[in-house]
Structure 1
Amino acid sequence: MTLAPLDWAVLLAYLAVVLLIGFWFARRNTSTEEYFVGGRRFRGWVIGLSLVGTSISSITFLAYPADAFKTGWLRYLPNLALPLALVMAARVFLPFFRRGNMTSAYEFLELRFGPSVRVYGAVAFIVAQLVRLAMILWLLSLLILQLVEVSPTTAIIAAGLFVGLYTVVGGIDAVIWTDVLQTLVLLLGGLLCVWVVVEALPGGLGQVFREAGAAGKFALSEWRDGEPQPVRWGLSLSEKTATMMLFIGLTNWLTEYSSNQNTVQRYCASRSTREARRGLWVYLFTALPVWAFYMLLGTALWVFFQHHPDPVAEAVLAGTAKAETIVPWFITEYLPAGVAGLVVAAALAAAMSSLDSSINSVATVSIVDLYRRHLRTGLDDRHYLRSARWVATAVTVLMIVGALWLNGADTHTLQDTSTILVSLFGGGMLGLYLLGFLSRRGDARAAWWGIVATLLFTSWTVLTNEGMLPATLSAPFDLYYTGLIGNLVMFVVGYGAALYWPRRAR
């Protein structure tokens, strides 16, 4: 990718603004209350836009258009479960976290089950986030390598230090406000891409809808041999059906809005419960159109390249080139100077908004749930604030080291790492929280029975995925449903144990 001087000016200006936001808010951070939850004064629209920035990573920026370009809109289907998940979150989960003036999602686990379960939740979150941080930073470095001729090591270290710097000094204030900026840049970047495509087509946007619609590019279908194949509706654990994809989406979104620290921390940073709920609605009515818009970008690119033949586009459609290369290629070859720089800034924004949120969340959980609760209790707040900055710095270093390791690993290792992460550390967390929210039965003993059963179940699916078990012992269902079944195992086993061991008075 070769950028014009004007593109570099736009890109560097954006990065400078992000850095200035971090240092601007550094002067406010005189307490952990400010560093972790911003003094609990954020309005709903700010919280909502920051949630959009956090949830949209560079993977989304590249993968959504890529999928729509090569196939149809099936990837969008699980997102349609988001409204139901947010209604449940607003009415069930959010009031719990607001009522207790909490800072961490895992304080609830101690109140409901005891300190040991809280420690488990906190440690599982930290480990999963460290792996996620390394993966996103590595993906970000791949984009940087297309911009400048540097070594992968230099790209990873430079990007990691940049994001870590403004996050460590600025705390949650810098994270939230840079996420808002990054969301707006992401929206503008996508709009500019579609505008360039529409301007290049004689029939404009109408031509996109006519030609793509006639080819089935908007269909919620799987594609085989270049043709849409309808997805079956119904319940099944052996194949991907539309109904099951909606259940998967609902499970993922409920997990995100019941137990994910990145989300719960924003509940807690809101000015009031009303503002926190408003943030969820802002997120809903922003995120769904944004995801649809980036799917539309991929569909529009398909129409564009039907009329402007290109060898890279043909290679993607033929399966000889990765679909995720189509957006960077379009930026490189078809966007005018200045516009390309802004779109690249949007791609960087998509990654940075995920990285900064996770760094701050890991620091918060490490101090609130582990260090201040169990390791060094009763010290003054300034000590915990200094410790939080040191933890955020350490997380940045670990993120860089992990990305460097991934850079030396092959793609298969990366995919395996992702699968194992989702299975082991994400499996069952929703079931654990639902057991706490929806039932008064059971204590730590019931929770730990559910945790152990879920860990055994997910370990079994990991061994199946790695081909380490004979056919007779392998999981008899599509591993796509591991998370869904894992949450059921957690809830059913936990509730069953709660019936056997009544809850102790606390």
Structure 2
Amino acid sequence: MSTLDWIVLLGTLFLIIIYGIYKSRGSRNISQYLKGDNSLKWGTIGLSVMATQASAITFLSTPGQAYESGMTFVQNYFGLPIAIIIVAAIFIPIYYKLNVYTAYEYLESRFDLKTRLLGAFLFLVQRGLAAGITIYAPAIILSTMLGWDLTYTILFTGILVVVYTVSGGTKAVSITQKYQMAVIMLGMFTAFFIIISYLPESVSFANALHVAGRMGKLDVVDFSFDPEKRYTIWTGLTGGFFLALSYFGTDQSQVQRYMGAKSVAESRLGLIFNALLKVPMQFFILLVGVMVFVFYQFEEPPVFFKTVEMEQLRTSEYGNDVKDLEERYSANFAEKKSNIQSLVTALDADNEVDIANYSELVKQNKDTEKAIRNDVKGLLKDYDENIETKDSDYVFLTFIVTYLPEGVVGLLLAVIFSAAMSSSSGELNALGSTTSVDFYKRLIKKEASDKHYVIVSKLLTAFWGVLSVSFALFASLLENLIEAVNILGSIFYGVILGYFSLLSLSNILEEMPFSLQLSSLKL
């Protein structure tokens, strides 16, 4: 990295953090610390909710997901807008009516203390693990690509997050997240337009889309009922819906974001903001990954994107085998590039015969490339069976550090760190508040001063920060990080959503006229 990149990276991070701490100074009571004194507007709420969900995993792993598998992953979010509308209509009014600090206080009011503690405990386990992954995600990849020490990289990210989350509470988290999202989107749009500018002069953006489509990267919607396929419109509208409903409606990391709003209306507007923009944002991030894929059809990519492992393999007893595979890989790439350029010419001429012929040749080259990559991965496993051979998380960062100009590299690294910190800060803030309100205040010390509870909340937030950083050291066992977080969430969210759904249904029935309640029971 150049000096300019370091200035952009560190300057961006520290300016946002210092501003957030400055704007949130003076939290003297528990309401100010945990709910921002209900002073946040819908725009800040909306960006804060989005930033908490969109971690560094989103901006590192999602482009790699598109590079490897295309746009189908966006279907995972198709149920999200429907879920958010339900949360805005049902959950938010209940939380405001009860004036709760955490979502799990609601469980005790409808069931009992044991139910509240179980819900809070499930959240602490699930979100505590996820917070570790969101810190680990940028650290492992940045340390590998840039030669940074992994431990120091994790500590750098973790310490920054803990400092401003502990010092400023919910308001500091929301304010910093607003500006972190601005940096994130600026960086992603900058990367997108630079990728387009790097394509050969003969390849327009429309040509790039045609090439991506011919190579199976633009299949957005899949109506298949094949249970072997992870992402289809049906899994998005069902699994994605229930995952989003539980996440936005019952996960304290999200509930705490919109409970800091001035009113029910401001909270609802902040969530609807996400309902309108979340799917387009994910679509755009995947499109960035697809454009990186198209770029690498004209510029030879590495045969394997984890450079450290490849260097180790080249110097091992498998060195000659690797050399042979890389030579075959380069020869196949040259042939594929020629066929793609001919395909672009055929597309411009609207020559259906040549389009079909060259599309088939490109497909054959793609199959050969995949086979060579699999042979390389096999050698890596023979060399060291503990090496993780899934390298899609390294695709986007490889492009950033290899091809982007000075200054822009620092900006994109600031994007990755900002995303990591914005998501982690929301999680730690929620973990601290849940532990202090649902366990400490409810079970250990029911009556104390506001100052006491603020201090305890800060200490518990710091505790979860230390625990999350510690867990980050074990996250290397996971493959694709964006999938890992969704899988982890699905394990816990179903149970928690079941609690809250039963409660919401009982509330609705209680507010019905008696005659309608009888009709519902008959049904």
Q: Distance in 2 between matches of 1:147 and 1:416?
A: 22
Letter in 1 for 2:444: L
In terms of mean alpha carbon deviation, does 139-148 or 113-122 score higher? Answer: 139-148
- TM-superposed CA distance for 1:422, in Å, is 4.0
Aligned to 2:192: 194
Q: Distance in 2 between matches of 1:49 and 1:240?
A: 27
**Preserved contact between residue 103 and residue 251 of structure 2 (Cα < 8 Å):** yes
Aligned to 2:252: 261
Aligned to 2:515: none
Aligned to 2:205: 205
Structure 1 runs, 4 residues or longer, greater than 6 Å off: 236-240, 313-316, 412-420
Aligned to 1:218: 218
Aligned to 1:37: 35
- TM-superposed CA distance for 1:143, in Å, is 3.3
The 1:158–1:239 alpha-carbon spacing in structure 2 relative to 1, beyond 3 Å, is: closer
In terms of mean alpha carbon deviation, does 159-168 or 281-290 score higher? Answer: 281-290
- TM-superposed CA distance for 1:140, in Å, is 2.6
**1:70 aligned residue (64, 68, 71):** 68
Q: Distance in 1 between matches of 2:483 and 2:281?
A: 29
Aligned to 1:352: 421
Letter in 1 for 2:468: M
Q: How does 1:80-479 map to 2 (within 5 A)?
A: 80-146=78-144, 149-201=147-199, 202=201, 203-220=203-220, 232-233=224-225, 241-312=232-303, 318=373, 320=377, 322-406=391-475, 410-411=477-478, 421-422=488-489, 425-439=492-506
Aligned to 2:310: none
In terms of mean alpha carbon deviation, does 82-91 or 247-256 score higher? Answer: 82-91
The 1:432–1:272 alpha-carbon spacing in structure 2 relative to 1, beyond 3 Å, is: same
- TM-superposed CA distance for 1:416, in Å, is 12
- TM-superposed CA distance for 1:29, in Å, is 1.1
Question: Gapped runs of 5+ residues in structure 1?
Answer: 222-229, 443-498, 500-506
In terms of mean alpha carbon deviation, does 203-212 or 330-339 score higher? Answer: 203-212
**Preserved contact between residue 78 and residue 236 of structure 2 (Cα < 8 Å):** no
- TM-superposed CA distance for 1:237, in Å, is 9.7
**Preserved contact between residue 392 and residue 480 of structure 2 (Cα < 8 Å):** no
**What RMSD, in angstroms, separates the aligned Cα atoms of the two structures?**
2.9
Q: Distance in 2 between matches of 1:324 and 1:239?
A: 18
In terms of mean alpha carbon deviation, does 311-320 or 241-250 score higher? Answer: 311-320
- TM-superposed CA distance for 1:440, in Å, is 5.4
1:15-68 superposed Cα distances (whole Å, 9 cap, x missing partner): 211330343145221111111010101111110011111111122112221121
- TM-superposed CA distance for 1:152, in Å, is 2.1
Letter in 2 for 1:99: K
Give the 3-state SS of the residue equivalent to 1:105 in structure 2.
Answer: coil
**Preserved contact between residue 42 and residue 270 of structure 1 (Cα < 8 Å):** yes
Give the 3-state SS of the residue equivalent to 1:311 in structure 2.
Answer: coil
Give the 3-state SS of the residue equivalent to 1:269 in structure 2.
Answer: coil
The 1:219–1:412 alpha-carbon spacing in structure 2 relative to 1, beyond 3 Å, is: closer
Q: Distance in 2 between matches of 1:250 and 1:396?
A: 30
Q: Distance in 2 between matches of 1:104 and 1:237?
A: 38
Q: Distance in 2 between matches of 1:4 and 1:416?
A: 33
- TM-superposed CA distance for 1:144, in Å, is 3.5
- TM-superposed CA distance for 1:355, in Å, is 0.6
Q: Distance in 2 between matches of 1:143 and 1:349?
A: 15
The 1:239–1:122 alpha-carbon spacing in structure 2 relative to 1, beyond 3 Å, is: closer
1:84-123 superposed Cα distances (whole Å, 9 cap, x missing partner): 1111111111111122222111111111112211111111
**Preserved contact between residue 220 and residue 231 of structure 1 (Cα < 8 Å):** no
1:151-201 superposed Cα distances (whole Å, 9 cap, x missing partner): 322222222112111111111111111111111111111111111111122
Q: Distance in 2 between matches of 1:423 and 1:130?
A: 15
1:199-246 superposed Cα distances (whole Å, 9 cap, x missing partner): 12224432322322333321037xxxxxxxx65148x69986531332
In terms of mean alpha carbon deviation, does 18-27 or 263-272 score higher? Answer: 18-27
- TM-superposed CA distance for 1:353, in Å, is 1.0
Aligned to 1:21: 19
Give the 3-state SS of the residue equivalent to 1:307 in structure 2.
Answer: coil
Q: Distance in 1 between matches of 2:278 and 2:223?
A: 25
Give the 3-state SS of the residue equivalent to 1:27 in structure 2.
Answer: coil
**Preserved contact between residue 255 and residue 429 of structure 1 (Cα < 8 Å):** yes
**Preserved contact between residue 71 and residue 217 of structure 2 (Cα < 8 Å):** yes
Letter in 1 for 2:270: G
Letter in 1 for 2:497: L
In terms of mean alpha carbon deviation, does 285-294 or 381-390 score higher? Answer: 285-294
The 1:20–1:280 alpha-carbon spacing in structure 2 relative to 1, beyond 3 Å, is: same
Q: Distance in 1 between matches of 2:151 and 2:115?
A: 38
**Preserved contact between residue 82 and residue 253 of structure 1 (Cα < 8 Å):** yes
**Preserved contact between residue 72 and residue 217 of structure 1 (Cα < 8 Å):** yes
**Preserved contact between residue 98 and residue 267 of structure 1 (Cα < 8 Å):** no
Q: Distance in 1 between matches of 2:204 and 2:483?
A: 43
Percent identity (aligned)? 29
Q: Distance in 2 between matches of 1:71 and 1:398?
A: 34
Q: Distance in 1 between matches of 2:483 and 2:211?
A: 39
The 1:322–1:406 alpha-carbon spacing in structure 2 relative to 1, beyond 3 Å, is: closer
In terms of mean alpha carbon deviation, does 388-397 or 307-316 score higher? Answer: 307-316
The 1:200–1:155 alpha-carbon spacing in structure 2 relative to 1, beyond 3 Å, is: closer
**Preserved contact between residue 61 and residue 481 of structure 2 (Cα < 8 Å):** no
Give the 3-state SS of the residue equivalent to 2:216 in structure 1.
Answer: coil
Aligned to 2:336: none
The 1:9–1:420 alpha-carbon spacing in structure 2 relative to 1, beyond 3 Å, is: closer
Letter in 2 for 1:431: G
Give the 3-state SS of the residue equivalent to 2:218 in structure 1.
Answer: coil
Larger radius of gyration: 2
Give the 3-state SS of the residue equivalent to 2:162 in structure 1.
Answer: helix
Aligned to 2:320: none
Question: Gapped runs of 5+ residues in structure 2?
Answer: 306-328, 331-368, 378-389, 510-520
Q: Distance in 2 between matches of 1:30 and 1:422?
A: 34
In terms of mean alpha carbon deviation, does 202-211 or 55-64 score higher? Answer: 202-211
**Preserved contact between residue 31 and residue 37 of structure 2 (Cα < 8 Å):** yes
**Preserved contact between residue 134 and residue 403 of structure 1 (Cα < 8 Å):** yes
TM-score relative to the length of structure 2: 0.76
Letter in 2 for 1:190: M
- TM-superposed CA distance for 1:138, in Å, is 1.9
- TM-superposed CA distance for 1:148, in Å, is 5.1
1:354-408 superposed Cα distances (whole Å, 9 cap, x missing partner): 110011101111111111122101111111011111111111111222223446x
- TM-superposed CA distance for 1:132, in Å, is 1.3
**Preserved contact between residue 187 and residue 290 of structure 1 (Cα < 8 Å):** no
The 1:291–1:237 alpha-carbon spacing in structure 2 relative to 1, beyond 3 Å, is: closer
The 1:137–1:68 alpha-carbon spacing in structure 2 relative to 1, beyond 3 Å, is: same
The 1:99–1:352 alpha-carbon spacing in structure 2 relative to 1, beyond 3 Å, is: same
